[in-house]
Structure 1
């Protein structure tokens, strides 16, 4: 039989009083001193209380141990605590409910922390957290990739300089921690490859308000800076290219106004020069407008294009120019080479490549257009035996206004935009353009476009 907790109090008190009465009676009968009677009563009450309270104390000790384990975050399953006492049973149940609640809360917090860490690790930007002494406490995967020589987990515990070998970043982090303000700047990294990185350093604050460290977020801006540089170069080059024919037109016009018009031969030469400059200016403006429209995403609706017919049309159109320079122009086509797109775009892309081949091939040389069709693609190849392109220049030939031979290009009337237009057209058609060239031997440009299947053609 289990004795309820409240009843244990009553029994302990009653038995203690009974023991005292019995000892008092015995003391009266046998003349036991009063002090010994009191001590005997206390001892009897203690023994009786111990017997009655032993089980409740064990239950309370187990509950206390379980709560201490919770505080130590030891949430392993424990044996159930059995007791029939209503008060202790309620206490045990409350302790178990508290344990379950804390376990669920910590599990939820761990899941959220894991999700946050997964998100941070998946970021393309590098994230590095430090303490107040600039030692790294956390780094994501991108941080290791940015600096290359260490896995991101190995960076933890190191100083910024030790982990990144970058004194500029270290100075920015220290400045952020010392001032408690956001620090921003651009870093130039050279390992594992050369690139530019935008850095934002944010201070971390402890609950008391003091700065406890910093978080550095690094974003690769290499491509952004490259595009920005291209835009600046484009504006500068466009201004120069437009200014040259305009200056020529201005000089010739002023000369005519100042009396050259009275000399028929001189006037004819000046007017011819004005006409050539005007033609060059018109071609340049047309090319610039074409690029602007295409880069803005505007294109003509696609139709069926017979690449063979377009290639032959280009060869017929540019044959006189080739003959004038003493260059042999050939055209070899394959049947069934159909693509989807604007016929004028395809014509312009091929014509720009052939025009380039003619301009950079000396008299006695050869230029050839070849079309091929496979199951999935159509290839348009323009080959020449011209001056060729050095390896270091081959990655830049498709950039606007880039010229391998500036003097030769301008003398032949080139705008410096032909290959940029080719690349823009080919990309808009879902294709690619490549170059093979050997300096002094010639060049081969190859356009690869998706081929229309027979059922699509019909």
Structure 2
């Protein structure tokens, strides 16, 4: 016969065993839920909406460096490919931020995309996002870097261009002093001094003109401009230079075209194109200026029979101080700013300029402007 105290002990033991099993099950379930949460790609609330709304690049990276969220800006910059960061430099920043737990900000110079050669400049900030994720934000500074480079080149080019005539003026002044007793030498040096001073004044004026054209109010009060008068004035300004080289200047095309803008600036633009055509033409050739007026557009084409422009330099002819033939330009006193001024004048009038050229057969520069009669509105300044 069993002892009477064994029944309560067995019952208590069963209760304890059952409670233990329940605890084990609950703990296992909690651990399972935590494991699922750890394995989940869910990011903190609101992050998805922020990433989608970003105009700049935004990327969320998991502990295995897989990209689980990427903004349209990040895709456009080529930072993400196959759910991974393309650039090892970005991966290194992510690893460092994960290891140190501190936000990191750096400027990086990278290739665009996994296969592209284009260069991009980024300001990158990397920081933890919650306990598991890393948030990478990148601002595209490529245009800012490009403008800084253009400014540096512009200053360097100005210094170089001004140094030549300024140096020449100084040397000629010394030569005049030493030749004061020789009237023939004095006249010769004085003529050279006048030429160099005119060149210096021309470069300075063109720099001022180019700066004014880049201002937002370059065309604050446009008027109705007669293109026939613009062409006639520009041709007259170049008549002496053309005759000196036996170059024939010919105007033609549609009459009566009008545009809204600044007459003096348009005359300057056409004048620069004609002067450029004369400069790069050989003697006993021809420079033509034609006007076409149709479909709401006025086209002014300046065609020469000169040396032409190599294909790989066509995209650069409108850059400041760029010269197809530097030796010829320096001999004739060209500053390298003429075509850049033309481009800005045309852009400020709401138009564009195109160039066709073939080495040995000449070039054609075509200005396209909105026709006043059909647009019916004045064209404001464009930067």
Query: TM-score higher than 0.5 here?
Result: yes
Q: Which residue of 2 aligns with 1:451?
A: 371
Q: Retained in 1: the 8 A contact 2:127–2:135?
A: yes
What is the CA–CA distance in structure 1 between the aligned matches of 2:66 and 2:180, rounded to whole Å? 80
For each residue in 1:147-179, what CA deviation from the matched residue of structure 2 results, as whole angstroms up to 9, or x when unmatched?
2884xxx41xx4x3xxx1x22222222222223
Q: Which residue of 2 aligns with 1:130?
A: 61
* Pairing of 1:77-116 with structure 2 (within 5 A): 115-116=49-50
What is the CA–CA distance in structure 1 between the aligned matches of 2:158 and 2:88, rounded to whole Å? 40
For each residue in 1:368-394, what CA deviation from the matched residue of structure 2 results, as whole angstroms up to 9, or x when unmatched?
100111131100000111111111111
What are the ranges of 5 or more consecutive residues in structure 2 without an aligned counterpart? 1-32, 34-43, 378-383
Q: Which residue of 1 aligns with 2:202?
A: 283
Following superposition, the deviation at residue 296 of structure 1 comes to 2.0
The number of equivalent residue pairs is 331
What are the ranges of 5 or more consecutive residues in structure 1 without an aligned counterpart? 1-71, 73-108
Q: Retained in 2: the 8 A contact 1:389–1:404?
A: yes
Following superposition, the deviation at residue 193 of structure 1 comes to 4.3
Q: Which residue of 2 aligns with 1:168?
A: 89
1:335 aligns with 2:255: yes
* Pairing of 1:176-187 with structure 2 (within 5 A): 176-179=97-100, 180-187=102-109
Query: Which among 188, 209, 219 is matched to residue 110 of structure 2?
Result: 188
What is the CA–CA distance in structure 1 between the aligned matches of 2:107 and 2:146, rounded to whole Å? 17
* Pairing of 1:19-98 with structure 2 (within 5 A): none
Q: Retained in 1: the 8 A contact 2:296–2:374?
A: no
Q: Retained in 1: the 8 A contact 2:97–2:128?
A: no
Q: Calculate the TM-score normalised by the size of structure 1.
A: 0.68
Query: Which among 151, 158, 162 is matched to residue 242 of structure 1?
Result: 162
What is the CA–CA distance in structure 2 between the aligned matches of 1:447 and 1:436, rounded to whole Å? 12
Query: Which has the higher Rg, Structure 1 or Structure 2?
Result: 1
Question: Cα RMSD over matched residues?
Answer: 2.3
Q: Cα 1:119–1:456, aligned 2, differ >3 Å: closer, same or farther?
A: closer
Q: Cα 1:222–1:392, aligned 2, differ >3 Å: closer, same or farther?
A: farther
* Pairing of 1:195-344 with structure 2 (within 5 A): 195-206=119-130, 212-257=132-177, 259-300=178-219, 301-344=221-264
Following superposition, the deviation at residue 312 of structure 1 comes to 1.6
Following superposition, the deviation at residue 229 of structure 1 comes to 1.2
Q: Cα 1:241–1:357, aligned 2, differ >3 Å: closer, same or farther?
A: same
Q: Retained in 2: the 8 A contact 1:146–1:192?
A: no
Q: Which residue of 2 aligns with 1:52?
A: none
Q: Calculate the TM-score normalised by the size of structure 2.
A: 0.81
Q: Secondary structure at the match of 1:336?
A: coil
Q: Secondary structure at the match of 1:261?
A: coil
Q: Which residue of 1 aligns with 2:75?
A: 144
Following superposition, the deviation at residue 348 of structure 1 comes to 0.4
What is the CA–CA distance in structure 2 between the aligned matches of 1:336 and 1:428, rounded to whole Å? 22
Following superposition, the deviation at residue 454 of structure 1 comes to 6.7
Following superposition, the deviation at residue 289 of structure 1 comes to 0.6
Q: Retained in 1: the 8 A contact 2:52–2:71?
A: no
Following superposition, the deviation at residue 186 of structure 1 comes to 1.4
Q: Retained in 2: the 8 A contact 1:130–1:214?
A: yes
What is the CA–CA distance in structure 2 between the aligned matches of 1:148 and 1:435, rounded to whole Å? 36
Q: Cα 1:149–1:140, aligned 2, differ >3 Å: closer, same or farther?
A: closer
Which range moved further: 218-227 or 307-316? 218-227
**Between structures 1 and 2, the one with greater helix share:** 1
What is the CA–CA distance in structure 2 between the aligned matches of 1:405 and 1:455, rounded to whole Å? 39
Following superposition, the deviation at residue 396 of structure 1 comes to 0.9
Q: Which residue of 2 aligns with 1:393?
A: 313
Greater relative contact order (CA < 8 Å, ≥ 6 in sequence) = 2
Q: Which residue of 1 aligns with 2:267?
A: 347
Q: Cα 1:267–1:198, aligned 2, differ >3 Å: closer, same or farther?
A: same
